[in-house]
């Protein structure tokens, strides 16, 4: 994580994505050009169907643009093969999904280790365990390694997912509505983790519908009909740690009354 | 490069772990799927073992005819295979046997044979049995040792002495546990002295009791049991080594045709068979049986394979999201393919190993109950093992490839 703040993590050059469903052609993304510097924390917003997820899939190397170029960490990844894209995802990207996508009946530790199983880096079982325990600790889940997803709350499951995204030390952390399935307090807890990670230098791109969640980011990009309509720096940025304290104080007050 | 290879190997190892974990997660389902293979492989092993057992039994019985034996029957087998009075037409004469003894050098032993069924008695016991008239060479040709007493000699044959040797069954039926040698057996009211008891040979390939027999000099049998006549049912001849069989057979045919004045182009009035030909016909029958049984077993193996394919397809569909997740964090299509192939192969190989054990046990149990013999060959075990692994690969490939070709985004979105 020694990127200087000038380094460009993600650069999109007139990226378009057209879906062909039968006779109908859907232009989900219609020419997006953005630059996201290393160390940024971007919230991608916009109404439903505006192309946020489509764009995130391209940025996440899960999908290829129909046209346009995409540079990730300076490398042109717009025309890589399936396997090459998989390797890029493994080395440089971490994913956090709305529905967590943890492997059922598999312990938190094993879930977290998953990306390392597909990594080129050869680790021994002991090293693997150590690393997984480290990242679980980083998201505040020390001691929960043996729990399976069904034994964890939604917030805890999302933390396991974040730990999994972090295990390969990614350049960019991608999250498509990471708080979509969580209550407000748990959402802020996730934002607290994101801000802490971002402080350490990880670039974060997050899709969200909620304005208050977006104000935890440094920059907001708003999409409409497959185009970027607005791109602003967040003015009154919220600090998740402070918000959590306020919430705890409020709860204590309620309890006292 | 080497570190990359190392990483790949490690990846394969972890893929094994993933597959094992997935199978353990669905224990009952895995067990039921493997059961299809267990039954299939078990059936193959059991059937082949029993078939091999039957074949070995037949071979042993044929070997008990004696080694390098040529049988000459009176009566012919036409080109179309119809036998006209095999052994019954009475075309073979004692002189024919003498001629063979004299003029075919490869032939080392000759026994003239006549056969009759008769009531035999001793004291107040009687028994219906087969009477064989033979020369003194017979016991050596058939490698039939005596359990007690002595066989008759060439001298006994020349003098047509009233002596005989009896089989184990006949001995027990008439004399019970009494000492037999030296006793007198009445055949057609002629008293024959018993000089020996034969060792037990068991059932023949046709299922008759070979020990239910009385053997005496053929001269005595002709004169005192058959009541005259000079024709033989057949002649047993033995050559020194297998390579002598064919030439000796040719010489015998030529010799007998000449002696019987059979003109060029006419059929023989006798039939010459060597023991190998008889063995071939017999084993062909048991082989057909084995093939049929194995065929049925193979079908059940295929059904087991389809079971694996079915479960793997269900599994791929159920775990679409898992596959998507794995791809999202960097799994290649190949990793997913290997994972599911290993799952399918583990099911079939474990099923195969259990099936092999089950099949061996089943064949022994069946053999014990039915009083058959079973013979488990190492080849059948190796083949069963390889085939079950092959079934896993073959039937697991389609589902595994389906999984590997999934699009990560579609897979992640799958509900
Ligand atoms: N696989 C696909 N095939 C066809 N059309 C698609 C596909 N994926 C998305 N679309 C279309 O592309 C457009 C953008 O979809 P996308 O999922 O990117 O929207 P979104 O901004 O993420 O919406 P939401 O906020 O509801 O998640 C929509 O009109 C959608 O119908
Ligand atoms: Mg979306």
ipTM metric: 0.93
Tens-digit pLDDT profile for residues A209-220: 999 999 999 999
CA of A60 to the centre of ligand 1 (A): 15
Print the SS3 string covering B246-308: HHHHHHHHHHHHHHCCCCCCCCCCEEEEEHHHHHHHHHHHHHHHHHHHHHHHHHHHHHHHHHH
- Answer for the pair B109, B159: CB distance below 8 angstroms, yes or no: no
Whose atoms come closest to the Cα of A28: which ligand?
1
- pTM for the model stands at 0.74
Q: Which residue has the tokens 């960097």?
A: B330
- Does an H or E element contain B354, and which? helix B333-370
**CB contact B18 to A (< 8 Å):** yes
Helix-helix angle A108-117:A154-166, to 10 degrees? 30
- Per-residue pLDDT reduced to its tens digit, A217-255: 999 999 999 999 999 999 999 999 999 999 988 888 888
Q: Which of A16, A17, A18, A19 to mutate to test the pocket of ligand 1 (most atoms within 8 A of CB)?
A: A19
Predicted local distance difference test score (pLDDT) of residue A242? 94
Closest CA to A63 of B373, B347, B327, B168: B327
Optimal mutation site among A19, A61, A115, A120, interface B, most CBs of chain B within 10 A: A120
Say if residues B390 and B337 touch (Cβ distance below 8 Å).
no
Mean pLDDT for A80-105 is 93
Among A51, A60, A64, A224, which residue has the most ligand 1 atoms within 8 Å of its CB, making it the best to mutate? A51
Mean of the pLDDT values across residues A33-58?
Answer: 96
Q: Percentage of residues in chain A with pLDDT exceeding 70?
A: 98
**Which residue in the set B4, B6, B329 is minimally distant from A118, CB to CB?**
B329
Residue B9: the pLDDT is 58
**Ligand 1 pocket by Cβ (under 6 Å):** A 19, 21, 26, 28, 46, 48-54
Q: Whose CA is nearest to atom 2 of ligand 1?
A: A19
Could you tell me the two tokens for A6?
A: 């000038």
Contact of A64 with chain B, judged by CB distance below 8 Å, is answered with no
Name the stretches of chain B with pLDDT < 70. Answer: 1-11, 65, 76-89, 205-207
């Amino acid at each position: 994580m020694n990127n200087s703040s000038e380094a460009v993590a993600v650069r999109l050059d007139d990226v378009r994505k057209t879906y062909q469903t039968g006779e109908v052609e859907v232009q989900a993304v219609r020419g997006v050009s953005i630059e996201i510097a290393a160390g940024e924390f971007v919230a991608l917003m916009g109404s439903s169907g505006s192309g946020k997820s489509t764009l995130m899939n391209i940025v996440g190397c899960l999908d290829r643009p129909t046209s346009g170029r995409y540079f990730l960490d300076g490398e042109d990844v717009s025309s890589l093969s399936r396997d090459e894209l998989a390797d890029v995802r493994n080395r440089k990207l971490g994913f956090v999904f709305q529905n967590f996508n943890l492997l059922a009946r598999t312990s938190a530790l094993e879930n977290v280790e998953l990306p390392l199983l597909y990594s080129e880096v050869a680790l021994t079982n002991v090293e693997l365990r150590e690393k997984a325990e480290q990242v679980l600790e980083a998201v505040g889940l020390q001691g929960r390694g043996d729990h399976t997803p069904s034994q964890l709350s939604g917030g805890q499951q999302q933390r396991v997912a974040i730990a999994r995204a972090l295990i390969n030390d990614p350049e960019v952390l991608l999250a498509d509505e990471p708080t979509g399935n969580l209550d407000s307090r748990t959402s802020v807890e996730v934002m607290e983790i994101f801000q802490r990670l971002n402080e350490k230098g990880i670039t974060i791109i997050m899709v969200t519908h909620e304005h208050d969640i977006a104000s935890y980011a440094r920059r907001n990009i708003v999409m409409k009909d497959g185009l970027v309509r607005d791109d602003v720096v967040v003015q009154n940025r919220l600090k998740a740690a402070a918000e959590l304290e306020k919430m705890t104080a409020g709860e204590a007050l309620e309890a006292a009354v | 490069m080497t570190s990359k290879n190392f990483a790949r190997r490690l990846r394969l190892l972890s893929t094994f772990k993933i597959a094992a974990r997935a199978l353990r997660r669905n224990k009952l389902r895995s067990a039921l799927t493997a059961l299809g293979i267990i039954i299939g492989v078990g059936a193959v092993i059991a059937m082949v073992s029993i078939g091999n057992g039957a074949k070995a039994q037949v071979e042993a019985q044929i070997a008990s005819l004696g080694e390098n034996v040529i049988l000459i029957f009176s009566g012919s087998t036409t080109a179309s295979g119809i036998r006209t009075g095999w052994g019954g037409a009475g075309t073979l004469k004692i002189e024919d046997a003498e001629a063979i003894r004299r003029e075919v050098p490869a032939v080392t032993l000759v026994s003239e044979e006549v056969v009759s069924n008769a009531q035999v008695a001793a004291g107040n016991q009687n028994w219906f049995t087969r009477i064989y008239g033979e020369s003194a060479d017979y016991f050596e040709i058939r490698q039939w040792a005596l359990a007690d007493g002595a066989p008759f000699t060439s001298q006994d044959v020349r003098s047509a002495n009233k002596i005989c040797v009896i089989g184990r069954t006949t001995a027990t039926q008439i004399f019970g546990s009494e000492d037999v040698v030296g006793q007198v057996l009445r055949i057609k009211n002629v008293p024959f002295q018993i000089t020996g008891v034969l060792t037990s040979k068991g059932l023949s390939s046709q299922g008759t009791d070979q020990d239910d027999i009385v053997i005496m000099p053929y001269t005595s049998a002709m004169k005192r049991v058959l009541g005259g006549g000079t024709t033989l049912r057949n002649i047993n001849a033995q050559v020194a080594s297998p390579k002598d069989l064919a030439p000796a057979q040719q010489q015998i045919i030529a010799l007998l045709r000449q002696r019987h004045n059979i003109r060029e182009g006419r059929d023989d009035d006798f039939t010459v068979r060597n023991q190998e030909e008889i063995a071939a016909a017999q084993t062909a029958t048991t082989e057909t049986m084995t093939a049929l049984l194995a065929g049925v077993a193979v079908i059940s193996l295929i059904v087991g394979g389809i079971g694996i394919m079915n479960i793997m397809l269900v599994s791929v569909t159920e775990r679409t999201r898992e596959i998507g997740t794995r791809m999202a964090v960097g799994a290649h299509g190949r990793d997913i393919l290997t994972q599911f192939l290993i799952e399918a192969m583990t099911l079939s190989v474990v099923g195969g190993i259990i099936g092999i054990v089950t099949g061996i046990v089943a064949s022994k149990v069946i053999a014990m109950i039915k009083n058959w013999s079973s013979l488990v060959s190492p080849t059948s075990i190796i083949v069963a093992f390889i085939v079950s692994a092959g079934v896993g690969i073959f039937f697991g490939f389609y589902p595994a490839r389906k999984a590997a070709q999934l699009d990560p985004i579609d897979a992640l979105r799958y509900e």
